[in-house]
A and B are shown apart, each in its own frame.
Chain A
Amino acid sequence: MKRSARIAIVAMFAAMLFGIAGTAGAQTLLGAGASFPAPVYTKMFDAYNKATGVKVNYQAIGSSGGLKNIQDKVVDFGGSDSFVKDSDMGKYSAPIVHVPTVLGAVVIVYNLPGNPPLRLTGEVIANIYLGKITKWNDKAIADLNPGIKLPAMDIVQVYRSDGSGTTFNFTAYLSAVSPEWKQVVGNANSVQWPVGQGAAQNAGVAGMVRQIPGAIGYVELAYARQNNMPVATIRNAAGNWIEPNLSSISAAAAGAFPADTRILLMNTDAREGYPISALTWLIVYREQSYGNRTREQAKALVDLLWWMIHDGQAYAEPLDYAKLPAPAVKAAEAIIKSITWKGEPLLK
């Protein structure tokens, strides 16, 4: 009895040791990357651990860090808010696949006296951030909001000072709707802003917008909801006014979906889709037999991915993330089934 307890303890320590190393035991999976989905991943991985005993360790070090880690093969999966462009595929020593997990959205927040509901178009938002529209009572804004008395206040533009997927998605949207934006500023994790001031993280932008009368900013949906900030309704490509919420964000991915899931949902064609929605992905190697990985570990990884796009989706909405719509789940299923071990599919 005593002896078996001792053996159990030793075995436990051994498991922990190998678990931390992350190579020998299939009990632990290692991931790193995007911080935007980190809260929902933490929740999902905790639930998965309780259900299956598999421990998943995810470090929210940022999308580019996640991509670098998967390039260096020091993690089982990398998380990224932007997909790997064709031109960057050469950085990976073997073919990779993208598995979409959840959707998020960038929403426009503002601070006006009385905070009236506001309607904006992509064009107007671009011109505000280009410094071409400088007053809240500008005709371009007033025309979109008949019946609302707009003050003659200066617009104070607030942006993210740290490089972030949120900025990437916001500038991707502005580039899609405004040729001038695409030309002058462009699209990246951090850009050279023509006007406005920067604040760190979602919380910083939300805080600064709340502090400065006449301010406009962009944050993740979850932040705006948790802080009860007014958010602008945006006109999408189909011409409908869309309020950002979990169903309009999911709807953005409900249209045609490419087989490799690498799609920018910005300015989506979907009729009821919110136009500044974005997917976030986990990135893994298609052929899992590399380095000193075991088949068990590879199998644990694909099982986890499969669980995340099905059962795991239940954890998205309570945390203000949008679920994958049916076409995205279908595409993701096909991708997970294409992951192999020595050429043999791991899931049948």
Chain B
Amino acid sequence: MQRRLSGPVLDTGSGRRPEDFQIMDGRETRTGKTDAMNDKRFERVLAAAAAAVILLCAGFLLTLALDATPVIRQEGAAFLYGTQWNPVTARFGALPFIAGTVLTSILALAIALPLSLGTGIVLGEYLRDSRLGALLNVMVNLLASIPSVVYGLWGIAVVIPAVRSLALLVGAPPYGSGILSASLVLSIMIVPYMSSLIREALRSIPPGLREGAYALGMTTFEMVGGVALPHARSSIIAGVLISFSRALGETMAVTMLIGNATRMPTSLFSLGNSLASVIASQFNEAASDVHRSAMMGLALILLFITLLAGWTGRKLMHRKVD
């Protein structure tokens, strides 16, 4: 237990001599010489750890940027808007993959948002302290712990045949795999994250606000719609963006479901490809050095998109509600 002491104290009971006590930063503390040294050492260790993280991050970016230089030099800005990805002619444009990544993630978000909002509100407000709520919470967490490849297999076994029947019904090419299948499975994968973040956002509302609303005679529905959700709005948007950045980088399940075709997606049933999926599929057997470098370029693009989403999310999270 730390004790606040009001003046230099000789604690004869500790067996220390008076000269062991010293005054630091104008604040009197009960610190011996060895303790001060330990403090310094601890600070140094902390500083080294922090520096290591910064160095790692910088090194990470630097490596990616350096390795991506050949393709950026060759393609210039066309690397971002080109639609050719041809290892044979060594022409590389990432637009179809950027489109596939962003499109599947946005669709997944659109599907997951109502589901997560519902789950989050039920967990955060209606079943706050009930057995049923605890059970539901366990189930949602269970969804989060299912490995990506299992989602992919489930997608192949269940979602793809379902989407294929749907495609036949509306007269689209009956591939089954494609943007829609990938988005559907992605949405289920991000529901646990989004609903947990929404639940936490609702729980962090000051209890007085909630109690006040009830005291005014509001129903739970009115309280959630009129008080809780508006108050937690920025945290909820932040949670959505964090889930979005998770969807952007998802690799295995998307690779198994998106169809792996280098084409600009034109409809929900189009085949496509994502940045992460191309890197995972083609890196091992890259056809040339430029091809390898192009994959590093894709990683750089993915990193920037993800960072942007995460950064916006954090910005919104810390914004105070007026």
B203 → chain A closest CB, angstroms? 41
A201 to B282, CA, bound (A): 11
Q: Knowing A192-B262, A197-B259, A198-B260 are in contact, say whether A186-B281 is a contact too (CB < 8 A).
A: no
Taking the nearest CB of chain A, how far is it from the CB of B199, in angstroms? 36
- CB atoms of A196 and B261 under 8 A apart: yes
Segment at the interface with B among A118-126, A159-167, A260-268, A287-295: A159-167
CB-CB contacts below 8 Å: B252-289 with A: 255-256, 259-262, 271, 273, 277, 281-287
Please, how many angstroms separate the alpha-carbon atoms of A197 and B255 in the complex? 11
Tell me, in angstroms, the Cα distance from A196 to B287 when the chains sit together. 21
Residues of B within 8 A of A211 (CB): 156, 160-161, 176
Verify A190–B284 contact, CB threshold 8 A.
no
Interface string of B151-193 (1 = CB under 8 A from A): 0000010001100100000000111111000000000000000
- The answer to whether B284 and A65 touch across the interface, beta carbons within 8 angstroms, is yes
Contacts of B174 in A (CB 8 A): 154, 156, 212
CB distance from B242 to the nearest CB of A (A): 29
Q: Does A188 contact B (CB under 8 A)?
A: yes
Q: Across the interface, which residues of A come within 8 angstroms of B261, CB to CB?
A: 193, 196-198
Let me know if B87 is at the binding interface, CB within 8 A. yes
Contact (Cβ within 8 A) B176 A191: no
A65 to B284, CA, bound (A): 7
Contacts known (A161-B260, A196-B261); A62 close to B284, Cβ less than 8 A = yes
A-chain residues with CB within 8 Å of residue B24 when the two chains form the complex = none
One of B271, B281, B283 near A197 (C-beta < 8 A): B271
Contact (Cβ within 8 A) A186 B176: no
Is B14 engaged at the interface, CB distance under 8 Å to the other chain?
no
Q: What's the least CB distance linking A37 to chain B, in Å?
A: 15
- Contact flags (1/0) for A196-210 with B, using CB distance below 8 Å? 111110001001000
A23 at the interface (CB under 8 A from B): no
- Residues from chain B with a CB closer than 8 A to the CB of A154 are 173-174
A185 contacts the other chain (CB 8 A): yes
Q: Indicate if B88 sits at the interface (CB-CB under 8 A).
A: yes
With A62-B284, A197-B259: A186-B89 Cβ-Cβ less than 8 Å: yes
Q: Is the interface of B mostly helix, strand, loop or mixed?
A: loop
CB closest chain-A residue, reference B283 = A163
Is A64 a contact of B259 with CB atoms below 8 Å? no
Contact B282 A163 (CB under 8 A): yes
By DSSP majority rule, is chain A's interface helix, strand, loop, or mixed?
Answer: loop
**Contacts A188-B87, A192-B84 given: A163-B285 contact, CB under 8 Å?**
yes
Q: Does B86 lie at the interface of the complex (its beta carbon under 8 Å from any beta carbon of A)?
A: yes
A337 CB, min distance to chain B CBs, angstroms: 32
Chain B, Cβ-Cβ closest to A182: B88
User: Which A residues lie within 8 Å of B260 (CB)?
Assistant: 161, 197-200
A65 to B285, CA, bound (A): 7
Q: In the complex, what residues of B have CB within 8 A of residue A64's CB?
A: 284-287
Question: Is the pair B175, A197 in contact by a Cβ cutoff of 8 Å?
Answer: yes
User: Does A61 make an interface contact (CB < 8 A)?
Assistant: yes
Q: How far is the CA of A63 from the CA of B286 in the complex (A)?
A: 9
A253 to B262, CA, bound (A): 35
Contact between chains at B285 and A162 (CB < 8 Å): yes
B-side contacts of A162, CB under 8 Å: 281-282, 284-285
A189 contacts chain B at the CB level, 8 A cutoff: yes
How far is it, in angstroms, between the C-alpha of A198 and the C-alpha of B262 when the chains are bound? 10
B177 touching A197, Cβ below 8 Å: yes
CB distance from B175 to the nearest CB of A (A): 6
What is the CA–CA distance of A196 and B263 in the complex, to the nearest angstrom?
A: 10
Q: How far is the CA of A108 from the CA of B85 in the complex (A)?
A: 25
With A189-B87, A192-B85, A192-B86 known as contacts, the answer to whether A200 contacts B284 (CB < 8 A) is no
* In the complex, A280 has a CB within 8 A of chain B: no
Residues in A neighbouring B271, C-beta threshold 8 A: 197
Q: How far is the CB of A83 from chain B (nearest CB, A)?
A: 15
Q: Do A193 and B88 contact each other (CB < 8 Å), given the known contacts A62-B284, A65-B284?
A: no
With contacts A154-B174, A197-B177, A212-B176 taken as known, whether A192 is within 8 angstroms of B88 at the C-beta atoms is yes
Q: Which residues of A are found within 8 Å of B284, using beta-carbon distances? A: 61-62, 64-65, 162-163
A187 interface contact, C-beta 8 A: yes
B250 to chain A, nearest CB (A): 15
In the complex the two chains form, is A190's CB within 8 Å of B87's CB? yes
Contact B285 A161 (CB under 8 A): no
A135 to chain B, nearest CB (A): 13
Known: A156-B174, A193-B262. 13 other contacts (CB 8 A): A62-B284, A64-B284, A163-B282, A163-B286, A163-B287, A186-B86, A189-B287, A190-B87, A190-B287, A197-B260, A198-B260, A200-B256, A211-B160
Interface residues of A (CB under 8 A from B): 61-65, 154, 156, 161-165, 185-193, 196-200, 204, 207, 211-212
A selection of 28 A-B contacts at a CB cut-off of 8 Å is A62-B284, A62-B285, A154-B173, A154-B174, A156-B175, A162-B285, A163-B87, A163-B281, A163-B283, A163-B287, A164-B285, A165-B285, A185-B88, A186-B88, A186-B89, A188-B87, A188-B287, A189-B287, A190-B87, A191-B87, A192-B88, A197-B271, A198-B261, A200-B256, A204-B256, A207-B156, A211-B160, A212-B175
